[in-house]
Structure 1
Amino acid sequence: MPILSFGSRNIDLITGQKTMTIRKLWKKPLNKGDRLHCYWNLVSKERRKIFEAEVTDVEILNFEDIIKNDDLAQEEGFKDSLELENEFKKMYSDKIKADTAFQVIRFKKLPIEEWEGEKINEKAMITQRADILFDSGKYHKSEMCYTAALKFDPEDIYILNKKGDNLTRLGRFEEALKCYNDALKIEPQNEFIINNKAIALLNSGQTEKALRCNDLAFKINPENNVVLYWRGFILEMLGKNLQALDTYNKVLELDPSNPEVWNARGNLLSDLGKTEKALESYDKALELVLEDEANATAWNRKGNALLELGRLEEALECYTEALNLDSKNDIIWGNRGVVLMELNRFKEASDSFNKALMINPKNDDVKVLLDECLENL
């Protein structure tokens, strides 16, 4: 029973696009017709069976022949034969020479009813892999997996919705809308999917349509926090700021522990010129969030509000906190430089501007500020 282990990066395996692999020649070489049991990460705790396959062809090649063949390298998933050569040398260390024999194994995936060993829920396995890829931001690969999972069940609401979310993040809005519409044919009153459709419409620039779509979700459940949050955001995009503010307030009545909504409320209040109230919102958001890089933005916004109020030392503290969380953000370094200029600390300000320009040499605003700062040194 030959077993093949693949790294989980080989997503093409489950989409059916990868039907070949190159392995060092075994003592007992494979032959056409042999059965393969294929796993992901065989020697790790994340081991997963992915399918069984039948060998359709085996070709024996020396390493020196393989590393001259770009087409073969690309079929194996590498950019070119040079990348394959480098990876294989790492993989096999010093046990690989020009005349080392490899087997190029071609195979066809077998339907589950023909498997000899343990049978798995392929749809569940592929969907789980898609979710992992989606959560880690690998949207091109996760979209491939969701598409593969839908082949098992084209009417799976969860997968249709997740594929729509995935396509929205890839900017493929028409395809995303089709996924949501297909899901809504099956569950027309699903407020979450309707809201996701509204988000796709918003991101594609169809803001009025997004609001009308959100209206439908809102009518189904006017106390759904997710629907309400996006309703506020869409209203804000349409310039209906007071309605948006009322909506954010409604969300916070239902769930006062949501830092994202406190932040959104703070931004809107700041735009409305209500800086003191905005500051209260930012403070509340910062109380609720954990210390991670994403929250550098919250510290930065609080610093901006304090700068606007002329509370310079407090603003400087906020920018310092923000940079402790995200030291490669040229915008925050620039803002820190501004407050240092206001404090007449021009040498420190110029240092901040220079750090901003090291990160982003194209930041023209910082260039202007640095010139002005240097005139005062």
Structure 2
Amino acid sequence: MNFSSVKVKALEHDPVKMLNQDISLGEFKDYLRRSNQLESFESYLTEQSKLSDENQEWAYKLIMILEGKEDSLNNDPIRAMKLHDKGLDLRRLGRYQEALESYDESLKICPNVATTLCDRGDVLRDLGRYKEALESYNESLLNIWPHDVMILSKPEEVLRNLGHTLHNRGGVLRDLGRYEEALECLKKGLEILSKDAVIFRNRNIIVCCSKYVREVQGLVLRDLGRYEEALECFDKSLVIYYDADVLSNRSIVLRKLNIKEHCCDEKASQSCDTSFRP
């Protein structure tokens, strides 16, 4: 089949029809390459992947074909996403084992998805299976820069996932009593977030991720008896916004240091806000 540029334009307006017709996608790819339109069409698909589930699905399929990854079409990324979301819902209900099974099913369809691996680590941690949780977080970090078209064009989601994974990986290292490793993980996390502030230019997300990383950092330092450093971490976390858990942990540290709480609270409240600071 010989495709004209007019048909390419038509496909841009209604590409779903193309998937429902008996069209040689291989020949379509060859036409795009010959007419030097392959790169621009891939860019168009990436933009479309930001939209509805239907757009995400056909964009995913077309990009897999254009990249020569037809075998990947045996996987169903939309079904994998739904299984992942089901796992989130089950975890919220406290049905941790079922949530784990749902994440595992999702990963069988689409392996190496960073968000699913991270959330799988969370539920393993809920089940007290800390070593397995750590392995899942490690895998998530290895795959943190996604190649999946559905999230490739959404860097803020990548950044949120990075902060979440580093926060929880540090937490599970603390659960395992590996405090120095936890501190190193959290320190590296803050360095990465600081560098990525330049790349992503989304200060609110950077601040939010940093807040949670500093919170766990404070807990680890408290466990090590390094109370002054722990207090500093909690204070930096509270500068972003008030959090009941952080305030409670801060109070424990203040008692350990024999510091009157109301004196420090007055100072802290002057710099705290209930919203993110840019």
Alpha carbons of structure 1 residues 293 and 190: separation in structure 2 relative to 1, 3 Å = closer
Alpha carbons of structure 1 residues 314 and 247: separation in structure 2 relative to 1, 3 Å = same
CA distance in 1, matches of 2:209, 2:141: 21
Cross-structure match for 1:351: 263
Q: Which amino acid aligns with 1:272?
A: L
- Relative to the length of structure 2, the TM-score reads 0.53
- Check whether the contact 2:167–2:212 (CA below 8 A) recurs between aligned residues: no
Q: Deviations over 1:97-139 (max 9, x none)?
A: xxxxxxxxxxxxxxxxxxxxxxxxxxxxxxxxxxxxxxxxxxx
Cα shift at 1:189 = 6.6
Of 330, 336, 358 in structure 1, the residue corresponding to residue 250 of structure 2 is: 336
Cross-structure match for 1:276: 180
CA distance in 1, matches of 2:230, 2:77: 49
Cα shift at 1:353 = 6.2
- Check whether the contact 2:211–2:237 (CA below 8 A) recurs between aligned residues: yes
Alpha carbons of structure 1 residues 307 and 238: separation in structure 2 relative to 1, 3 Å = closer
Verify: 1:288 aligned to 2:192, yes or no.
yes
- Check whether the contact 1:336–1:352 (CA below 8 A) recurs between aligned residues: no
Q: Deviations over 1:158-204 (max 9, x none)?
A: 28x9xxxxxxxxxxxxxxxxxxxxxxxxx697211221122222222
Question: Which structure shows the bigger proportion of residues in strand conformation?
Answer: 1
Q: Which amino acid aligns with 1:298?
A: V
Q: Which amino acid aligns with 1:252?
A: L
CA distance in 1, matches of 2:248, 2:102: 40
Cα shift at 1:309 = 1.2
CA distance in 1, matches of 2:247, 2:99: 36
Cross-structure match for 1:121: none
CA distance in 1, matches of 2:244, 2:120: 32
Cα shift at 1:355 = 8.8
CA distance in 2, matches of 1:293, 1:190: 30
Cross-structure match for 1:321: 236
Alpha carbons of structure 1 residues 261 and 325: separation in structure 2 relative to 1, 3 Å = same
Which ranges in structure 1 are unaligned for 5 or more consecutive residues?
Answer: 1-155, 162-186, 357-377
Cα shift at 1:330 = 4.1
- Check whether the contact 1:337–1:350 (CA below 8 A) recurs between aligned residues: no
Q: Deviations over 1:131-153 (max 9, x none)?
A: xxxxxxxxxxxxxxxxxxxxxxx
Cα shift at 1:261 = 0.6
- Check whether the contact 1:333–1:355 (CA below 8 A) recurs between aligned residues: no
Which ranges in structure 2 are unaligned for 5 or more consecutive residues?
Answer: 1-50, 57-75, 146-158, 194-202, 269-278
Of 216, 221, 233 in structure 1, the residue corresponding to residue 122 of structure 2 is: 233
Cross-structure match for 1:200: 89
Alpha carbons of structure 1 residues 259 and 313: separation in structure 2 relative to 1, 3 Å = same
Cα shift at 1:232 = 1.4
Cross-structure match for 1:303: 218
Q: Which amino acid aligns with 1:269?
A: L
- Relative to the length of structure 1, the TM-score reads 0.40
- Check whether the contact 1:195–1:214 (CA below 8 A) recurs between aligned residues: yes
Question: In terms of mean alpha carbon deviation, does 287-296 or 217-226 score higher?
Answer: 287-296
Matching of residues 205-284 of structure 1 within 5 Å: 205-255=94-144, 258-284=162-188
Alpha carbons of structure 1 residues 297 and 214: separation in structure 2 relative to 1, 3 Å = closer
Q: Which amino acid aligns with 1:302?
A: Q
Name the structure, 1 or 2, with higher relative contact order (CA <8 Å, separation 6+).
Answer: 2
Q: Which amino acid aligns with 2:243?
A: N
Matching of residues 62-81 of structure 1 within 5 Å: none
- Check whether the contact 1:333–1:353 (CA below 8 A) recurs between aligned residues: no
- Check whether the contact 1:334–1:352 (CA below 8 A) recurs between aligned residues: no
Alpha carbons of structure 1 residues 352 and 331: separation in structure 2 relative to 1, 3 Å = farther
Q: Which amino acid aligns with 1:275?
A: Y
Cα shift at 1:246 = 0.8
CA distance in 2, matches of 1:335, 1:188: 41
Query: How many percent identity over aligned positions?
Result: 32
Alpha carbons of structure 1 residues 207 and 315: separation in structure 2 relative to 1, 3 Å = closer
CA distance in 1, matches of 2:108, 2:209: 33
- Check whether the contact 1:198–1:209 (CA below 8 A) recurs between aligned residues: yes
Q: Which amino acid aligns with 1:210?
A: A
CA distance in 1, matches of 2:252, 2:104: 43
The SS at the match of 1:292 is: helix
Question: Which structure shows the bigger proportion of residues in helix conformation?
Answer: 2
